[in-house]
Amino acid sequence: MSVTHHPPEELLAGFAAGTLDAGEHLAMAVHVSGCPACRRLVRAVEGIGGSALEAIDLAPMRAGAFEAVMAKLDRSPSHAPAPANSADDDALPSVLGHYRIGRRRWVAPGVSMRPIELPGASSSRAFLLRSDPGTHMLEHTHTGTELTCVLRGSFSHEGGRFGPGDFDFGDDTLDHQPTVGDGEPCLCLVAMTGDLRINGFFGRLIGPFVRL
């Protein structure tokens, strides 16, 4: 898998700092887990986080803090990793195995989606989008941002061709008409941010098929 389209550096830094909205966070997690170059960038920002700890103004702990933690040491449960989603026909990246993914529903001819439950309150939503080969999406613009990770297959628009591992960042300046590549279905993880009050319920329903 050779990645040619990467996320904006600011989003990767936000991911490293843990400050992103849950939808953006998930899109970064999926991309980073499969992209060594972006993983290095995240590691580097984490390294700067380590330096920040060394440089920060100390805030004294409350009296008895150490003793309180010591008292918990012996009864600490060992860390058990969450069970991964199994029996999934989409062969998803392992990061997604820790998320609850809803049932598939059709949103347009040849296009189906599965909503992903995001932890915490989020101004974004995330879903898996699966489109048949050769599907043409409607030309459109949108508010907010749209982060897309290609998991399988490909699509193209004037920004280039996007294959497995590639990341597409869209914002409100976009006016795209993506086309899904021939040969195999295209499976993407999509995280959309934006004001849902503006998009409205109807916008949420049609969102998945107005653009990849």
Partner 1 sequence: MEWATLIGRVAAGDREAYQRLFEHFAPRVKGLMLKTGASSDDAEEIAQETLLAVWRKAAQFDPVSAGAAAWIYTIARNLRIDAVRRVARAGTVDHDAELDYLVDPAEPADDVMARNDEAVRVERALSSLSEEQSMAIRLSFIEERPHGEIAGALGIPLGTVKSRIRLAMNRLRALLDETK
CA dihedral 69, 73, 74, 76 (to 10 degrees): 110
Residue list 149-178, contact with partner 1 (CB under 8 A): none
Least distance between partner 1 and beta carbon 21 (Å): 11
Site for partner 1 in 118-137 (CB under 8 A): 119-121
Separation CA 170–CA 190 (nearest Å): 11
Rounded CA gap, 109 and 94, in Å? 29
Q: Decide if residue 14 touches partner 1 (CB under 8 A).
A: yes
> From the CB of 165, what's the least distance to partner 1, in Å?
11
Among 2, 63, 81, 83, binds partner 1 (CB under 8 A): 81
Q: Which stretch binds partner 1 (CB under 8 A): 68-76, 135-143, 154-162, 204-212?
A: 68-76
Token representation of residue 103? 């049932």
What's the half-sphere exposure (Cβ side, CA atoms, 13 Å) at 143?
11
Distance (Å, rounded) from C-alpha 175 to C-alpha 112?
22
Does 63 sit near partner 1 (CB under 8 A)?
no
Beta-strand (E) ranges in 35-170? Answer: 105-108, 111-116, 125-131, 146-152, 155-157, 160-162, 167-170
User: Quick one: tokens of 136?
Assistant: 């043409």
Measured from the CB of residue 210, what is the shortest distance to partner 1 in angstroms? 28
Residues that bind partner 1 (CB under 8 A): 9-10, 12-14, 16-19, 22, 25-26, 29, 32-34, 36-37, 39-62, 65-66, 68-70, 72-73, 76, 78-79, 81-82, 93-95, 98-99, 119-121
